[in-house]
Chain A
Amino acid sequence: MLPSRDEIVQAYRKYCELVADADDTIDLSHERFFYPTTLLPLGIYVQRNAKKVVKPTNPDVSNYVSLITGHRREGFLYSDSYMPIVCVPKAPYAFDPIFSAIIGICDQGRKFGGVKAFEYYLAELSQNIYDHSEFQNAYIMVQRYEKKGFVEIVLIDDGISIPGSYERHGVTAADDNEHLKNAMNGASTKLEGSRGCGLGTSIKLLTKMDGQFFLVSRRGALYADAREQTFFKLAAQEIYNGTLITIRVPYPARELSNEAFYHAIEG
């Protein structure tokens, strides 16, 4: 059983509050735990704004903070069988060995919903970073919480955001959540008719796996699982200038049948 929707939301809210309270220094000395949903946007914020950080006293937590707030190094920042943080390289060719390594570290995705499903959503959501975001910094982090019975996977970039990408291609919408609806239903910013399915099909696939999907992109935000779907109206201090995607899947996640898999990704 996965934690509630609000636990993911709270992890994002924690990032918002840390940033809102920040002056020149962000004091994390009392922080004892971070989900990737908090840690990764915090790391990007610190890098972008050249903030000083008072690190957590807990050495493990401090180590994670050092990795994500330190000098940008493409490739693996840190990895073992439990936690890879990946700094996504700007050149897509350089991503190939990283993609292979993530798949390998995650046991080919066998406990992440099956090989096909894991490769599918990881590839499609990574492809979106390259296709649309124009990022300076992007990270992927996979964290297993075996005792809690789930995996949290976060993909984040500091690019132009999904709404910003549509606007760049001349598409207007009433608000940023309308842009997210377009993206989910496969309205591609590219010319080819068959493109643009990655986000929507990944959400369908993950909810079919009893997973949770949370996305913030500029002023647009959404949450989806098999039972509950919500768009969020964000206040100014809750905006994320880029795109953050958090996925939680049960661990181990049952493998979908071929029929269920292909039905979910029909597009």
Chain B
Amino acid sequence: MQSKVKVVSVVKECALRHNAERLFETIRALPSKDVLVDFSDVKSVSRSFAQEYLEQKKGLTVTETGMNEDVQAMFNLVKKPRTGERFDFSEWKEERLPC
């Protein structure tokens, strides 16, 4: 039987990484190994939270529901291989701290 966890009932903020760890402490304590995580009422998650969530999720049977567009977009972003432009430092100046 599937268990259900509502994110906002476990953590108030999804800004820092440790909140994903806390969420999964709750998930791992559930009797069922099949867990539905409900993101409804979560307005946004940080990149760090999303990264840690996906790291913690590895090897577990966890599915998500109720994600709004912003939450979904952040998860999609961190799942992707890095595609952003690297900084090109050739145009950067180097100088002493101005007086």
Residues of chain A whose beta carbon lies under 8 Å from any beta carbon of chain B = 6, 9-10, 12-13, 92-93, 95-97, 99-100, 115-116, 119-120, 122-124, 126-127, 130-131, 177, 181, 184-186, 192, 194-195, 197-198, 200-201, 204, 221-222, 228-235, 238, 258, 262, 265-267
Contact = CB atoms under 8 A, between A and B. Distances in A.
30 contacts: A9-B97, A10-B98, A13-B99, A92-B18, A96-B11, A96-B12, A96-B13, A99-B15, A99-B16, A115-B43, A120-B47, A123-B15, A127-B17, A127-B46, A181-B87, A184-B87, A185-B87, A186-B82, A194-B51, A194-B78, A221-B97, A222-B92, A229-B91, A230-B92, A230-B95, A232-B94, A233-B97, A266-B83, A267-B47, A267-B84
B73 interface: yes
A27 B92 CA distance: 37
B86 A185 contact: yes
A198 B19 contact: no
Given A201-B84, A262-B77, A232 B13 contact: no
Contacts of A262: 73, 77
Interface of B: 11-13, 15-19, 22, 43-44, 46-49, 51, 54-55, 70, 73, 77-78, 80, 82-87, 89, 91-99
Nearest to B73: A262
A106 to B, nearest CB: 14
A267 B82 contact: yes
Contacts of A120: 46-47
B19 A197 contact: no
A124 B48 CA distance: 7
A109 B51 CA distance: 23
A6 B80 CA distance: 38
B16 A231 contact: no
A231 B94 contact: yes
Contact of B92 (A195, A221, A229): A229
Contacts of B48: 123-124, 127, 195, 198
Given A115-B44, A124-B47, A231-B93, A92 B16 contact: yes
